[in-house]
Amino acid sequence: MRHFNIPVFIPELACPFRCVYCNQYNISGTCKAPEPHEVTAIVEKHLQTIDYKNNNVEIAFFGGSFTALPGKQQNAWLEMAKPWIDAGKIKGIRISTRPDYIDEEILQNLKNRHVTAIELGAQSLNDEVLRLAGRGHNASQIVKAAGMIRNMGFETGLQMMTGLPGDTEESAMETARTIIESGAQTTRIYPTLVIEDTDLAELYRQGKYQPQSLEEAADLCARLFLLFQAAGVKVLRMGLHPSESFYEGGSLIAGPFHPAFGEMAMTRVWYYRLNDIVPEKADKLFVRVHPTNINAVIGHKKVNKKWLQGKFKIVEFYAEQGFKKDQIHVDFY
């Protein structure tokens, strides 16, 4: 079964802190949470295009710190999903929140109201990086909250960022290792972008912050992806998927943004996989992968294919229906 999220964005709603990088309005194009009738319209529109009978569909409240809302407001949002859940059209609810707004009472209430997955905005597991980002919590609070969520039976996700002030490639890799050790089942990896009307924008203009290049961010995300995949942690996304107004309206000042960033990162993932198995010398190379992987293994703008063509006289790629996803087989002569 495939998984589908029906996203409902609640930008900065109830968030008690303003992180240095954050301007949720510019990212989502939404300045206020939708009214109940608007949520109904959003869900019904998505359900018209989803085969909900044969797929796993969740309503996803993203953007704000859901559990920082007053309990009455949380319940009002959650109970809106009940008719679709009772009808078998929606399997559950996914929320995102902060690790310092998690306790047993909150979690029990979420479980009673059909929440099935909780994603924490961890961003980093390095205390100094968290301090410089203005997160308002420390790494131990993230680990504790993740353990509580996991022990209550929720699907547990920990989102991370790369390129934050004070962050390095090694500290980002260490964050990933701690996410794995915490028992998270899913993650998202977001390179830091410099967005208008943020403290980070001012630091950038003052020359006190330098974002990652696009190539640096894609390469680091690829190595993080491989680390997570080896540990069985599913990477749900690499890179932001913002509204069109975000990059067409001048909100983005600097940083490693590209509409196809996820594709670029997966190109690097397959570069590393190929580099581990292709021979140094041969005339012909034949690469076989599952059909869903064929574009990624060839690479964004065919960069992997061009790299291999520089090493071998003949390079051919084949999509094999009988292969498992992410399986690769190489023949060479």
Q: Mean pLDDT lowest for which of 43-47, 250-254, 324-328? A: 250-254
Q: How far apart are CA 127 and CA 130, in angstroms?
A: 5
Q: What stretches of the chain show up as alpha helix (H) in DSSP?
A: 24-28, 36-47, 71-79, 82-86, 104-112, 127-133, 139-151, 169-181, 199-205, 214-230, 244-248, 261-277, 294-298, 303-309
- Same domain as 254, residue 106: yes
pLDDT classification of 251: cutoffs 50, 70, 90: confident
Taking all residues of the chain, what is their mean pLDDT, rounded to a whole number? Answer: 92
- Same domain as 189, residue 291: no
- Same domain as 314, residue 228: no
- Same domain as 50, residue 153: yes
- Sign for the CA dihedral angle at 228, 229, 231, 233 comes to positive
- Same domain as 328, residue 283: yes
Q: How many domains does the chain have?
A: 2
Q: What is the pTM of this model?
A: 0.91
Give mean pLDDT, residues 212-237: 97
pLDDT, residue 137, reads: 93
CA angle 245, 250, 253 (to 5 degrees): 120
> Residue 186 is part of which domain span?
3-267
Whether the CB-CB separation of 264 and 258 falls below 8 Å is answered with yes
183 occurs within a structural domain:
yes
The Cβ of residue 37 has, within 10 Å, a number of other Cβ atoms equal to 8
273 occurs within a structural domain:
no
Is the pLDDT score of 248 beyond 60?
no
Whether the CB-CB separation of 85 and 91 falls below 8 Å is answered with yes
317 occurs within a structural domain:
yes
82 occurs within a structural domain:
yes
pLDDT classification of 180: cutoffs 50, 70, 90: very high
- Same domain as 326, residue 248: no
Is the pLDDT score of 287 beyond 70?
yes
Backbone φ and ψ for 68, nearest 5 degrees, come out as -85, -10
Q: In sequence order, what are the residues at sequence separation of 6 or more whose Cβ sits closer than 8 angstroms to the Cβ of residue 83?
A: none
- Same domain as 198, residue 55: yes
Q: What is the CATH number of the domain that holds 207?
A: 3.20.20.70
Q: In sequence order, what are the residues at sequence separation of 6 or more whose Cβ sits closer than 8 angstroms to the Cβ of residue 26?
A: 195, 196, 197, 242, 245, 246, 251
What digits encode the pLDDT tens for the residues 109-129? 999 999 999 999 999 999 999
The Cβ of residue 36 has, within 10 Å, a number of other Cβ atoms equal to 10
Instruction: Give first-to-last CA distance, the chain, whole Å.
Output: 39
| Residue that has been written with the tokens 């009988």 in this structure | 322
Higher pLDDT, residue 245 or 99? 99
Give mean pLDDT, residues 173-202: 96
Higher pLDDT, residue 76 or 289? 289
What digits encode the pLDDT tens for the residues 188-202? 999 999 999 899 999
Is the pLDDT score of 26 beyond 50?
no
In the structure encoding, which two tokens stand for residue 6, read together? 């029906």
- Same domain as 297, residue 182: no
- Same domain as 290, residue 258: no
Q: How far apart are CA 303 and CA 268, in angstroms?
A: 9
Q: Side-chain half-sphere of 254: how many Cα atoms within 13 Å? A: 14
272 occurs within a structural domain:
no
Q: In sequence order, what are the residues at sequence separation of 6 or more whose Cβ sits closer than 8 angstroms to the Cβ of residue 112?
A: none
- Same domain as 144, residue 73: yes
